[in-house]
Amino acid sequence: MKIKESTFPYSSILYLFIFSTTANALSLSAYAQEEKKEWRCATVAPKGTEFEKIFNENLKKIKSIDPSIKIISYLGPSYGDEIDIGKAIRSGELDCAVLTNNGLGYISPFFRILDFPFLFKSIDEFRKIKAKIVPMFAKLADESGYKFFNFLEIGEVFLISKSPIKSTKDLKDKTFWVWNTNIIQIATFDIFRNFGMKEIRIGLFDVERLIDSLDVIWAPPYALVAYGWFKKYKYIIKPHMVIFTGGVIVRKGSFERLQTRVRNILEEELIKLHDEVSEEIDKLNENTIKTLTQKYGYSVVNFDDIQKLEEIFKENMWRALQKYVPNWLIVSVLEELAKIRSTEM
């Protein structure tokens, strides 16, 4: 297949959440009491995907249920970067959003632990721990005034480079994109700086504008294509650094305007949908790597110093993480991971 940045289905997955959140709830509007007639939802997923058809079809569905319902969706950069969406959720300007852990971490800092480099060895390992930690994060979000339902697995985050990177020596003098609102990425670069890398700290939507100046970025494979960045790079550096996750977040005030029966149905459907969509994203990532390597001249390079790099991160970054995440949460996640790994030995 030929990759077209405007039609690659990156935001298709995230669209499903916006419409599931609104359409499922509103389709049950006959049962709702004092239901809010306007929902505002946002995501940084790019516009113009093949799932725009789903967008329009769902709008028609909702309108056919109740023509008075007004739904406003903000896609791509139309509402700004994730921190802007996070601020709008906190202030009440938005009712719901689909966010990565970067945005979720702005709303509730506990989510930031999941962006720690090399924390999870694989998508499968994250799926095993997910059932254990979702109730914990849902409770933490609830205490902060939000509804969180489940984790969406956005994928393995790789370093993407214009030249091969096989060892820490190859990092020297490379310019590196650091997402300017992502606290964990900023702390990660503090480690990379020791190897001679140079930081370019900019927002998500500034990457394309400055891409000629960026030697190395990081992204899940399909996001690389969705944002149009793939045209400037040639190397995928394995193994992954992070298992990137996210999910739907809804203001409790908006959610609780729905009748109990409606809320229960919606919550059940969203939990299932996150899992189903995660499977689809996994396939998208696999197919994207095949397309990039077979048709666009990409090479997959193994980073030989990975064990050394992991040890450096473990020794130095936990202290940085403790500024934002309480020790009890770090211990809880690590204990669950230890249990999973002990059963696999």
* % of residues, the chain, pLDDT over 70: 82
pLDDT tens column, 130-149: 989 999 999 999 999 999 99
For the ranges 33-42, 63-72, 77-86, 232-241, the maximum mean pLDDT occurs at 232-241
Residue pair 3/57 in contact (Cβ under 8 Å)? The answer is no
Statement: residue 34 has pLDDT above 60: no
Backbone angles phi, psi at 67, to 5 degrees: -60, -15
Residue pair 321/112 in contact (Cβ under 8 Å)? The answer is yes
Instruction: Let me know how long the chain is.
Output: 345
Backbone angles phi, psi at 259, to 5 degrees: -65, 155
pLDDT tens column, 256-271: 877 777 778 778 878 8
Who's near 234: CB < 8 A, 6+ residues apart? 161, 162, 163, 297, 298, 299
- From residue 212, alpha-carbon distances to 196, 200, 215, 230, 279 in Å are 19, 12, 8, 12, 33
Statement: residue 310 has pLDDT above 60: yes
pLDDT tens column, 248-259: 899 998 888 777
* % of residues, the chain, pLDDT over 90: 48
Statement: residue 22 has pLDDT above 60: no
Unique residue bearing structure tokens 């697995």: 153
Position 58 confidence tier, pLDDT thresholds 50, 70, 90: very low
Nearest-angstrom CA–CA distance, 156 and 286: 10
19-54 b/e (C-beta count within 10 Å ≥ 16 → b): bbbbbbbbbbbeebeebbeebbbbbbbbeebebbee
Least trusted range by pLDDT, from 37-46, 49-58, 231-240: 49-58
List of domains in the chain:
10-344 (3.40.190.170)
pLDDT tens column, 151-210: 989 999 999 999 999 999 999 999 999 999 888 889 888 899 999 999 999 999 999 999
Nearest-angstrom CA–CA distance, 147 and 306: 37
Nearest-angstrom CA–CA distance, 107 and 44: 16
